[in-house]
Amino acid sequence: MIKLENVSKAYSAGVPALNDVNLEIADGEFVFIVGDSGSGKSTLIKLLLKELEPTEGTIIVDGRRLGAIRHKQIPKFRRNLGVVFQDFRLLKDRNVYDNVAFAQRVIGASVRESKRKVPVMLSMVGLAAKYKSYPRQLSGGEQQRVAIARALVNQPKILLADEPTGNLDANNAWEIMKLLEEINERGTTVVVVTHNLDIVKIMNKRVITMKKGVIISDVNGDFNED
């Protein structure tokens, strides 16, 4: 579960990026977060990852109060989260298998465990046959699938996706969103920040709309950008 209680975040200029935000996302939900640039979406994701600290308020992720997590405990906390970015962030000098296995090595998993888990994840994202390929040999959609496999190989309860289709064409974007929906149906909580309102409308999920640091709308289905 994700919970924000009266959360505000102001940067050095003093202008609040988030202003007294209250939000709850239950285990197993699929939630879109939408809004114009500067609405606070990226700040929200960074707060959930504990890349930023709130100026005020309380944040709870997977039962942990983030304010109580010490700096040296942050890497361990983040192991429970899967994160996917717009720019993929793959290791260009490593093949598909090694990119996914890298997430296993970070948590100290054995080679034996990686050999069991990585092929399963690559199969799930439809890339089992390309495990020896390097990022430069893949399409944008395939690279994002590798990033998703890497984010999920440690079986996190929560997947945060920040503009996961931003660098993809319409067909690849839709394929990635269908994959995220399948992941959600397996029990993972999925939170997607996106500008792609066409996909948001079609998928008919919960949609949180932000503007100038506040939540102005929170609807389940029937999303209307007006």
Output the pLDDT for position 80: 83
- pLDDT means per 10 residues, the chain with 226 residues, are 95 84 96 92 93 95 94 88 88 94 89 92 93 94 92 92 88 90 94 91 94 93 70
What local confidence, expressed as pLDDT, does residue 225 receive? 67
pLDDT computed for residue 226 by the predictor:
60
What is the value of pTM for the model shown? 0.90
Q: Report angle CA 71, 188, 124 to the nearest 5 degrees.
A: 110
Domain residue limits, the chain? 87-155
- The span from the CA of 45 to the CA of 33, in Å, is 10
CB atoms within 10 A of CB 138: 18
Residue 109's pLDDT is: 87
**What pLDDT is attached to residue 68?**
95
**pLDDT value of residue 88:** 85
Q: Name which of 154, 153, 152, 39 is nearest 164 in CA terms.
A: 152
Query: What's the pLDDT score for residue 190?
Result: 96
Please name which of 176, 150, 152 lies closest in space to residue 165, comparing C-alpha atoms. Answer: 176
Task: For residue 13, give the 3-state DSSP assignment.
Answer: coil
Token readout for 79 is: 């192991």
